[in-house]
Structure 1
């Protein structure tokens, strides 16, 4: 369990981090400064004491020391002490009986600094100089009372007060700056809290500049725009789906009610056949809707390498055999045009395009597979009435069926081309309607991974 609770606010956490960091740095700097000041003051006092002791040392050796010894402020404590620690000469500020120190420099190091402290008095910083290396040589002591900054903790108190003051200023500054920096974030949060599913038109305010918060607001608005478009598309899809399902459900209900209400006037077999036909259209719509949902909501299957020419040849052969009316299908494809994708999904696209062409053609259908723009294009062309340029994008919308399509295939779901385009997009390709001298021409383009120059020409018919 942490000793201190973690602040919930980012502003408070940042302020706390700044305060702790500032205090840590200042404590280190303060300790360093305290030691430096103490050392400088102490070394200065020792130098002054050494200078005064050096002045009186030759005088004491010659026995010409005056009484009392004149003081050299700030070094007021001067004594000449014999080997038995008796004070021989002293300044007016120094004791005439008690030596400043009982420590004697050794003969090989005649100059020594000392710090003498008594229980009831202030410490003294002094320098001792042994007059001669002889065993009975006297000692000259010159000392200065320890300065107030060294004798008390005033320096530490002053540094601590400065550390607290600077830390407080740094914390307050961080609090203000972080608050100002996070103000747009709070505005974004407030605006987002007001956005609901029923109203996605609101946008968050975008602050000026190109910093992280500005880019966050821009991304949030882009996401909201995409979400609004997706929700609106979902609403339109739900409305269109409900409308499309209402018609076959109403027809199914009508057939069944007529069979129940008028058993003598309605042929039961005809009513059942009509109901089965309507149920089949409902099943086709539901299946296509499920396929659309899977295409957009699930992860794609692992792609496999597919020879598109062979796949088209197989599907052309299958459609030719299954066509209820004998319609020749002519196709040509180079060998070795390979792509990566889902075989089952691509079969669904080819089946949709071939079935659509066979349904609208008058005499023949042409299918070609050719390299195009670093990819491969599958072209399916019929010689039917064609698609007006104004409707070439509408045919890929859900449940959109032109008048000719409704007439030729009244039981269709209107989702085949929409599913085909979604599959093409999932394969990083395109599906479009292009100009044709006669009829409709659908072009499926997919990215190519390899190609070959050889070309096979074939013709299939029933």
Structure 2
């Protein structure tokens, strides 16, 4: 029930919250100010009555009581003896009974009070003569001087509270209005971003949200949103291209498989069925291998990565030892390195690079493992024909095969280097083709494990 009463608009909620806080703060300030003003006015009033009372007491000498020195505000002054009789009084206080029944003691000779009569209130100060003055002037009988003034209008009515109340109300409304304007101006950019987001669809990811000037949180939000839209646009474009390429690559073997099966059915008497089945099975295996590689590439790009400390140096040694002996592999270990990574995926990267290097090498393949600042560097080089500079990035695209690679391995899919780069990038590293005096030189760079320290170089070379 309460949630229904809360406005859904952030602008309304923020404005109401600001107004409520302003009301609490202003109300507390108004109460404090009211108390201070009342106390100050009361103190000033009693200071005037006390000054008149004590000044008159100081003028009394040898039982001679003169006229009191009054002010424009203090007009009622009386001298009352110990029996309560008015001995002397100012003109306006003559004929009146004692202004008050206060009887200050010797220890507290001055007291104040407020009394009302005839529809008016007065502030009264009672000043008692000292024992010495009482003994000298009236034979030890104390007298009391009463000085009174009308209560100031500020204390007599609620005018001050009304003024402060209007001030609190005005300040509250002003704070709420200021919050409404400021939040509305701030949310204007957010609303523009929301409207633009609502217009964006997968068919049109080129739109961008409006970015307000400055470097505040909303400007950074718009910048991050545009960056996310750009990455999304790139990802969708890559996915569409990848889907197009995959469909094209799958269409050829599927068409061949269909032709083989149709030939076996249409020309059953002229075609050996066993040969047709063997050819169809070989095509099916190629399709299965292609689908597995595509699934592997997709999983690496989109799936979560589980990493653990992996001894990259030992992994290189094991992979080099497991390769066939048709082409010698020289391994140069300059540092013993540990990287955070997936053991099986890094093993697949090394296997792909070594397969390519052995396929294109003329006489040798060389692997170098070394450290470069906080990166582990693995270089795989061969002495083959090499990769032209204009194709150094093209070879990492899915299903792209250079003419030499197509001649040496006609059944290849063209996904090996693409999968290798995707794995390395998922490990926050890089895989690239770099300059070489002869042949191809592929370089892997991976960040070292946090606990990796500078070990002594082993400088071990081995040939398999």
Q: TM-score range by the shorter chain?
A: 0.7 to 0.9
Mapping 1:171-210, distance limit 5 Å: 171-210=176-215
Mapping 1:40-189, distance limit 5 Å: 40-57=40-57, 58-59=59-60, 62-64=63-65, 72-94=71-93, 96-118=95-117, 121-131=119-129, 132=134, 136-189=141-194
Shift of 1:306: 1.5
CA contact (8 A) 2:55 2:69 kept: no
Distance 1:124 1:60, change over 3 A: farther
Distance 1:271 1:28, change over 3 A: same
Shift of 1:296: 1.9
Distance 1:117 1:292, change over 3 A: same
Distance 1:124 1:270, change over 3 A: same
The alignment partner of 1:96 has SS state of coil
Structure 1: runs of 5 or more not aligned? 322-326
**TM-score, normalised with respect to structure 2:** 0.87
- Distance in 2, Cα, partners of 1:4 & 1:103: 61
CA contact (8 A) 1:79 1:89 kept: yes
Structure 2: runs of 5 or more not aligned? none
Shift of 1:270: 1.7
The alignment partner of 2:93 has SS state of coil
Distance 1:84 1:292, change over 3 A: same
Shift of 1:437: 5.0
Q: How many residues align?
A: 449
The alignment partner of 1:26 has SS state of helix
CA contact (8 A) 1:116 1:125 kept: yes
Pair 1:416-2:421 in alignment: no
Shift of 1:169: 1.8
In structure 2, the residue matched to 1:218 is 223
Distance 1:130 1:393, change over 3 A: closer
Deviations 1:16-49 (A, max 9, x none): 3332333333223322222222222222222222
Of 319, 325, 339, the match for 2:323:
319
The alignment partner of 1:273 has SS state of helix
- Distance in 1, Cα, partners of 2:63 & 2:4: 72
Distance 1:138 1:288, change over 3 A: same
Distance 1:343 1:40, change over 3 A: closer
Distance 1:53 1:272, change over 3 A: same
Shift of 1:160: 1.0
In structure 1, the residue matched to 2:31 is 31
Distance 1:72 1:314, change over 3 A: closer
- Distance in 2, Cα, partners of 1:97 & 1:45: 22
**TM-score, normalised with respect to structure 1:** 0.87
Shift of 1:202: 0.8
Shift of 1:230: 0.8
Of 293, 297, 315, the match for 1:292:
297
CA contact (8 A) 1:353 1:380 kept: no
Distance 1:386 1:156, change over 3 A: same
Shift of 1:331: 1.1
Deviations 1:202-244 (A, max 9, x none): 1111112222222221111111111111111111111111111
Shift of 1:63: 4.9
Shift of 1:5: 4.1
The alignment partner of 1:123 has SS state of strand
Distance 1:3 1:28, change over 3 A: farther
The alignment partner of 1:129 has SS state of strand
Deviations 1:223-272 (A, max 9, x none): 11111111111111111111111111121112112212221122211211
Distance 1:386 1:82, change over 3 A: closer
CA contact (8 A) 2:346 2:423 kept: yes
Deviations 1:345-394 (A, max 9, x none): 22212221222233334x423223242634333323143x4433222221
- Distance in 1, Cα, partners of 2:61 & 2:3: 66
Shift of 1:143: 0.7
Shift of 1:283: 0.9
Deviations 1:116-142 (A, max 9, x none): 234x62222112233537674443322
In structure 1, the residue matched to 2:273 is 268
CA contact (8 A) 1:34 1:156 kept: yes
CA contact (8 A) 1:430 1:444 kept: yes
In structure 2, the residue matched to 1:324 is none
CA contact (8 A) 1:358 1:382 kept: no
RMSD, aligned α-carbons: 2.8
In structure 1, the residue matched to 2:256 is 251
In structure 2, the residue matched to 1:379 is 380
